[in-house]
Amino acid sequence: FYMKKIKAFLIFISLLSPIFLANIVQAQRVRNVSSSCSVLTTAGITERGKCKIKTWLEGNYIIVEVKKSWDREPSYFRLTNNPECNLWGPALDNDNPCKAVTGDGKSWDEESIVVGIGEHTDENGNKTFGYSFGRAYNLFYDGPFVIPK
């Protein structure tokens, strides 16, 4: 009697396992993190709040969506998916293996003026993420850059 119950339970669990595994795999494909962030411009710090960063893989690229608490529209970046990269720069340099471009999440501006995007280590050894458009605009995110697997 108990063997039939145990067998039925094991069959039930084995039928549910693909559901749980699919969620785990999906969690690795799309990463979401949230932390404090700020923008520094040539006029000084202009905004402070929370940022949500969502990353996912799309073909040979890492797509980054940054939602700032003070801005309705998210910012999007497309980065070359290269394991050697932790900083990405302008796509205008054909020899650059770590290219970054901006867009609306669906189409991309190959001539965008992203100067740099990536992870940095601050003076205290903490990982921070940020991007800049030259000295005029710099966003600092208080947390690491999470790349999906």
Digit-coded pLDDT (tens) for 33-63: 889 999 999 888 789 999 999 999 999 999 9
How far from the centroid of its chain's Cα atoms is residue 111's Cα? 21
Q: How confident is the model at residue 26 (pLDDT cuts 50, 70, 90)?
A: very low
What are the distances in angstroms from CA 128 to CA 68, 83, 117? 16, 18, 11
106-141: pLDDT as tens digits:
899 877 777 789 998 888 999 999 999 877 889 999
Residue extents of the structural domains in the chain: 31-141
Q: How far apart are CA 88 and CA 100, in angstroms?
A: 5
**What is the predicted pLDDT for the residue at 4?**
61
What is the separation, in whole angstroms, between the first and last Cα of the chain?
45
105 vs 92, which has greater pLDDT? Answer: 105
Residue 18 class from Cβ within 10 Å (0-12 exposed, 13-18 middle, 19+ buried)?
exposed
Question: Given a cut of 80, is residue 82 above it in pLDDT?
Answer: yes
CA distance 127 to 146: 11
Q: Which amino acid is at 122?
A: D
Tokens encoding 111: 């001539």
Rounded to two decimals, the pTM is 0.75
Question: Which of 58, 106, 64, 124 is CA-nearest to residue 88?
Answer: 64
Whether 19 shows a pLDDT value over 50: the answer reads no
What is the maximum alpha-carbon separation in the chain? 77
Q: Find where tokens 């990405």 sit.
A: 88
